[in-house]
Amino acid sequence: MKNIITSLAFLFLLSASASALCDSTHAKRKHELGLILYSNSAYFAFVDGSKNKLPVFYNHNFIPGIQYKLKLNKKNALRASAQFTYVKTNIASPSEQIIASYEQNSKTKGIELRAGYERIFHFGKFKPYVFSDLLYSYQHTKGYKAWSGCFSWGEGDFVQNDNSFGIVTGVGLKYNLCRHVFVSVETAFSLFYHYRYEKVDEYIPSYGHFLD
């Protein structure tokens, strides 16, 4: 219920801001505010500071965030965006797997901040574009996991923090609802530096105690 109320409040404020921009007769055309309807990205780690194996992962979200654009002219613009993620993870190994098993139940909340440049092409109100951004991403994961194998087994609550810095490049399509308000969809490719901190309250049944 809390998430629903927060989302409705966010959409109300965005709608009010969009209405004000559309009705403004004094606002300059170069400022635009938009809602990202869909975002799809592939992320590749070129350096992994935590030494975890995270070579690539994919992320796609519907209505993930908002975007601001400062148009320098008809073909060039500076841009900034904030995208939010909320993911529930439920993983369970197949019951027939005897040698090793893994289970995880967790929730991940994150924010991704981008700022960069885009090149715009014009086809009426539909405007394809290419872009390149600097990226900072933070994700906080909290949950429970259990595992077993030939030489180790255990279970426990865990907290995991992921920080990423990188470069994003991609393509998008924008549709102007009015002079200063738009909606867009984007797909992108990212190279980033990633660091992960993880703390697990680990309980080993065979020994009957917690490990730090």
- pLDDT of res. 111: 92
Whether 64 maps to a domain, the answer reads: yes
Rg of the chain in Å (alpha carbons): 22
What's the CA gap between 69 and 9, in Å, rounded?
23
Per DSSP, the three-state class of 175 is strand
- The region that residue 59 occupies, defined by phi over 0 for left and psi between -120 and 50 for alpha, beta otherwise, is beta
Assigned domain for 127 exists: no
Is 60 among the domain residues? yes
Q: What is the pLDDT of residue 162?
A: 87
Cα 14 to Cα 24: distance, rounded to the nearest angstrom: 15
Q: Which two tokens stand for residue 53?
A: 């194996």
DSSP for 125-171 reads TEEEEEEEEEEEEEEEEEEEEEEE-SS-EEEEEEEEEEEEEEEEEEE
46-74 residue pLDDT tens: 666 555 555 566 677 788 899 999 999 98
Q: Is residue 199 part of a domain?
A: yes
The tens digit of pLDDT for each residue in 5-54 reads: 344 344 444 444 444 444 444 445 589 999 999 988 887 776 665 555 55
The segment with the largest mean pLDDT, out of 1-5, 20-24, 128-132, 186-190, is: 128-132
Give residue 11's pLDDT.
Answer: 41
Question: How many domains does the chain contain in total?
Answer: 1
Residue 68 included in any domain: yes
Instruction: Give the domain extent around 173.
Output: 2-18+30-114+133-211
The pLDDT value recorded for residue 19 is 45
Residue 25 lies in a domain: no
- pTM (two decimals): 0.70
- Is 194 part of a structural domain of the chain? yes
Within the chain, where are the H helices? 2-23
**Nearest 5 degrees, angle CA 82-CA 87-CA 93?**
150
Closest to 114 in 3D by CA, of 168, 63, 77, 161: 168
- Determine contact, residues 58/87, Cβ cutoff 8 Å: no
Does residue 121 form part of some domain? no
Residue 137 contacts residue 110 (beta carbons within 8 Å): yes
- Which residue carries 């993880």 as its tokens? 198
Among 35, 61, 75, which residue's Cα sits nearest to residue 177?
35
